[in-house]
Structure 1
């Protein structure tokens, strides 16, 4: 079990993280447990580097998704639409579509 350590010694279990979202130089961490959102004064790149790349994949400039939370995905032109367990929908950027498909293909959803 991997743990993400944030400033102020705040810790989050990686399996509790659903996705990360960029907001300028801040990162909003969406998780399954309460509180459901945590905002940290670290960039998305910094937080993503602290997580296991086998489980977390960057799908566009603003979002990183936990692969374990994906329920379905489908291709649409140059992008991929992704649905996670709570019904939220995401879209890959054209540039990151192939890396997403390569990362997710060995995993059966």
Structure 2
């Protein structure tokens, strides 16, 4: 495929579909996450995946001895990790790239 899309146009279309605001740099991404922009997307993923992980990994321990502080911390991580991963995936649509970058038809980035 010889057609080349500018990175900005291709990314702008994806950004509009996901609703992710444009960002550049770790500090801007952190602000987006801390302001709750990713919650609508990441929270359902974290609830489903975190519950499955907790049942599989901690279910027997909780059934035998209840929810101890140690187990509670592990369960918390079972929810936190999918939330962070889903937030990072959501942020991928909004990352600003330099205007000079292009995306070739085969999906590789060139300048």
Relative contact order, CA 8 A, sep 6+: which one is greater?
A: 2
TM-score w.r.t. the length of structure 1 is 0.22
Q: Which protein is richer in strand relative to its size?
A: 1
Q: Which protein is richer in helix relative to its size?
A: 2
